Structures are given as C-alpha cells and as structure tokens.
Structure 1
Amino acid sequence: MTIESRRSVAGAAVLRGEITTALRSALLEELAANGYGRLSIEAVARRAGVAKTAVYRRWNAKIDMVLEVVTEFAGRKLSLPDTGSLRSDVHLVLQILAASLEHPLASQIIPDLLVETGRDPKIAEALRRAQQAIQDEVGVPLIKRAIERGELPADTDPDLAIDLVVGPLYWRLTVARRPLSPDDLEKLTDVTTAALSGGQPRPPDRTN
C-alpha cells in the first residue's frame, strides 16, 4: 500500500459516516430550535455528541455547513408517478408539499431561512437552486404530461403553471402559518386545476 493510499484510508476513518449523519441531523434540529442567527458550531457539535473539531474537519464555517446540509435536504429526489390526469397529479403534488412543509423541522427552518435570504445572498442562491431543481424534476414533467393529454394548451408555461400550483399552499403553510385540513386540500386542488385549464372549479361534493 502506498503512502497516498494509506493517507486516504486514514482520512476516510476520520470522517466517519455516522458522525457526519449525526452532525447533519443536529444542524437541522438546531436550526429549527434556535434559528440561523443563533446557530453555533459548538451547539451543533454538542447536540451531535462530538467535539467541535469534528465539525471543522467537514466544514470551514457555519455558512458552509448550513448551505451544504440545507441544499441537500431541500434538493432530495422526489418521485412523482403519472397518475393519469392533471387533477390527480396536482393533488399528489399538493399532498407531498403539504407533508413536507408541515414537518416539525421544516415548518421552523424554512420561514427562518427565508428571512435570512434578505441578508445573505449565498443562502438565497442555495434555496433558489434547490427550488429550481425540484421544479425541473417534478413540475415540468407534470405540465408536459397534461399538455400531451390535451388537458392544457400547448403553449402553457411550465414555470408559471407550477408556481400557480405550489404558491397558494406555500403561502398558507409557510407565511400565513394556517393549518390545512384534508377538505382544504381538495378545494385547493379543484381551484388550482381549474385555474390552469381555464375552466371552473367543480361544485363541492355534498353527498356526505
């Protein structure tokens, strides 16, 4: 074994995966509990049960740690199957988004980081890239499928369309911070689908 390969093995042993995972979890918990402004490397290390040198082996500063972990958390792959119709696709997207925004950690972290985007362009750009990646991966195929089915006009702008899908729900849960009931989600699905297709929302089901 060469000196270089021995160093590589040693380095891999130092940056153990379980410690990195613990630090990532601790960072998200600290962000949710105290916000970015009060976040400290010492607090993250303490919550993870490691020395703060373990943090510095992985990240040079608080901002580097936050950008990497939050970008990875926000940019997780999302699988959206073709449900067969625009309405059911929209409903599935809204269900997934609502579950994500109502998550105990996300519901605290996202509003705090949105405030920080006005102060730190690096955070603003990281969140913008993560949002765009999700939009490209999920929103664009959703709109293209609807166009292929004849449910939407061929010149529908995918970016504007998906803004219309997620915008009201994002406002409701992240800005207004009002809870969402299953009935609210159904109504929002109907109104959003109607707005996209240029039709009228279906009347509420009063058979129950």
Structure 2
Amino acid sequence: MTTEKKRPPAGAAVLRDDITSAIRRAVMAELAEVGYGRLSIEAVARRAGVSKTAIYRRWRSKLDLVLDLVSATAGRSLPLLDTGSLLGDLEILLHVLAKALRHRMASQIIPDLLAEAARTPQIAEKLHQTLEDYQRTIGVIVIGRAVERGELPADTDQRLAVDLIVGPVYWRLAIARAPLPASEVRRVAETIVAGLRVASTGSDSGELKH
C-alpha cells in the first residue's frame, strides 16, 4: 500500500520556515534598534533579505508581526528543572531570567513594548496574556513542587509567590538597569524562599488574605 504525498493547492504560496525565522530575527533586531514606533515593514524586509510581499504573505501589518513575535517567544518552554529543593529550583530559574533580561535585545525591546502597550490595546492584551501564562507555569511547577515536598503549605498563593520570585530580578535588571552578579543570585533566592515562608505563615493566620 502506497501513501501519496499531499501537494499544496495549485497557486498556493509555500511559506518557507527559514524565511519566517529570518523575518522574526529581523523584527527583533529592528525593535531593539529603533523601537516599535519607528519599526517599518520595509526595514524588516531589507534586514531579512526578503521582499515586502514575503512578509505580507505571513502577516497583515507590523502590529500582527510584533504580536506573533511575542507569541512565538512566549511559546519557548522555561527550563524549570527539579533540583529537589525550592531553593535550588529558584536559583536556576533566577539565573535563566537574569540571563534573558541581560540580553541586549531583551533589555531594549521589553521596556519599549511595555511603553507601547499604554497606547496600543492589542499589545497590552498580548503582553498581559504572555505574562499570565509565564506566571501560571512557574506557579504550577515551581511552587507546586515545593508544596508536594512540604516546603510550603498547600494554600500558598501562587500568584503572590511568582511576584516575589520574578519581581526582584525584573526590577534590578529591567527597571533600575543595575547589575546582578551571578554570585548574588543565590542570596536573592534565599531571600525569596524566606519571604515565601513568612507569607505562607501570614496566610495561615489570615494576615495576607485578600
């Protein structure tokens, strides 16, 4: 029994993955260099070495192009390794977050898109959805493991916990633009663990209920 390969409909455009990847890389480079406001399809096409038509076959506008880029980036799985302890899990996670936020493109693109979100509801919605997905993933996996190990109580507020985990690193690197030496990451992780335990104790007594 032979299996026939399906052919694309006659006249249909075949969207090559390598061209799509080249366009996405060009968008990231352009966003880092000029920001969303000055981003143009022409410049992206020139940097990617493709025609504008190749871009418009995939996306209707630069807004769709940037929203897709955010989705594609968010789709990359976080390396949430199980080290056997909450402290170990947090230390690895903080190293990963710090490395990502120190990247030249990320340090320029993220603040620009956050500023643009105040003017463009679609970007605000996509960023909110992306952050919610990240928060849910970290909460379910990292905090869930800690609860299973007995390191944190079952009623630990996962949303608050993730705020305590991500907040210090984001503030230091993306807002204050101050360095976070690798040697200091463990101390930050230890402080977060202590804070989570205090918050959990307060939650048990009703102090942090909201």
Question: 2:135 — aligned with what?
Answer: 135
1:85-117 Cα shifts (integer Å, max 9, x gaps): 111111111111111111121111111111111
Measure how far apart 1:7 and its partner are.
5.1
Q: Please say if residues 85 and 146 of structure 2, whose CA atoms lie closer than 8 Å, have aligned partners that are also in contact.
A: yes
Q: 2:174 aligns to what? A: 174
CA contact under 8 A between 2:86 and 2:151: conserved in structure 1? yes
Structure 1 residue 183: Cα displacement: 2.5
C-alpha root-mean-square deviation of aligned residues, in Å? Answer: 1.7
**2:63 aligned residue:** 63
Instruction: Note closer, same or farther for the CA distance 1:38–1:49 as it changes in structure 2 (3 Å cut).
Output: same
Indicate conservation of the 8 Å contact 1:75/1:134, yes or no: no
Distance 1:48 1:120, change over 3 A: same
1:81/1:7 Cα in 2 relative to 1: closer, same or farther (>3 Å)?
Answer: closer
Segment drifting more, 132-141 vs 156-165: 132-141
Aligned 1:111-190 pairs, distance under 5 A: 111-190=111-190
Distance, in Å, in 1 between the alignment partners of 2:8 and 2:164 is 52
| Aligned counterparts of 1:40 and 1:29: Cα–Cα separation in 2 | 12
Identity across the alignment (%)? 54
CA deviations over 1:21-40 (Å, ceiling 9, x no partner):
11011000000111001000
Residue 158 and residue 9 in structure 1: after superposition, are their counterparts in 2 closer, same or farther (change >3 A)?
farther
Q: Contact 1:140 / 1:159 at 8 angstroms: preserved in 2?
A: no
Letter in 1 for 2:151: E
1:8-157 alignment runs, 5 A limit: 8=9, 10-13=11-14, 15-157=15-157
TM-score by length of 1: 0.87
Distance across 2 between alignment mates of 1:157 and 1:70: 27
**Other structure's SS at 1:11 match:** coil
Aligned residue for 1:139, secondary structure, equals helix
Contact preservation (8 Å) 2:138, 2:162: no
How far 1:51 moved relative to its partner? 1.3
Deviation at 1:79, TM superposition (A): 3.1
Return the alpha-carbon distance in structure 1 between the equivalents of residues 17 and 9 of structure 2. Answer: 15
- Deviating above 6 A after TM superposition, structure 1's stretches of 4 or more consecutive aligned residues are none
Query: Secondary structure of the residue that 1:169 maps to in structure 2?
Result: helix
* Structure 1 contact 27–44 (Cα < 8 Å) conserved: yes
Q: Is the 8 A contact 2:80 2:141 kept in 1?
A: no
Distance 1:131 1:75, change over 3 A: farther
State the distance in 2 between where 1:50 and 1:101 align: 29
